[in-house]
Amino acid sequence: MAFEYLYKEYLNVILLSTLGTTYAKADLSNAVTTLTSGNNTYIKFNNGILIQYGRITTTGQKERRVYMPISFKNDGYKVFYGIEAGADVVQTLYTLNKSTSSFYVSGTFYDPYNGSKGFPGESFDWFAIGIWK
């Protein structure tokens, strides 16, 4: 009886130590690295995926350079935007001149009711996904 108990405990220790190094913990502390710095955040997965996001307050500039918290491996990452605009305004943001650590964003707006157009002045959120290794 004592031998069976010790054997089961031994197997549990081996199983738990194996699972602890191979599989992600419930809180993902051994699977991801995260950082929040000001308006920017990143989530770096052990499998090489990197997700970064942030918020930019614009002042109506034609182009705005966005610096990311950490660099991607290459410039093959994709950038997506979320714009806060009035209901009657059509806005478009697009990415220019990507590097591994930054990109430029430019855009246009058009108000179909009064015909005004120009460059967006509203804040926007950006989201980038790519690889870090």
HEC sequence for the chain: CHHHHHHHHHHHHHHHHHHHHHCCCCCCCCCEEEEEECCEEEEEECCCEEEEEEEECCCCCCEEEEECCCCCCCCCCEEEEEECCCCCCEEEEEEECCCCCEEEEEEEEECCCCCCEECCCCCEEEEEEEECC
Domain coordinates in residue numbering, the chain: 1-30, 32-131
Does the pLDDT value for residue 109 go beyond 80?
Answer: no
pLDDT score for 7:
47
Residue 54 phi, psi dihedral angles, 5° rounding:
-170, -175
Tokens 């991607």 belong to: 72
Name the CATH architecture for the domain at 32-131. Sandwich (2.60)
User: Cβ-count burial of 24 within 10 angstroms (0-12 exposed, 13-18 middle, 19+ buried)?
Assistant: middle
Q: How far apart are CA 53 and CA 68, in angstroms?
A: 8
Tokens encoding 61: 């500039």
Tokens encoding 56: 């930019």
pLDDT in tens, 69-97: 899 999 999 999 887 666 667 778 889 89
pLDDT in tens, 5-36: 444 554 455 545 555 555 656 555 666 777 77
pTM: 0.69
- Within 13 Å, how many C-alpha atoms sit on residue 72's CB side? 23
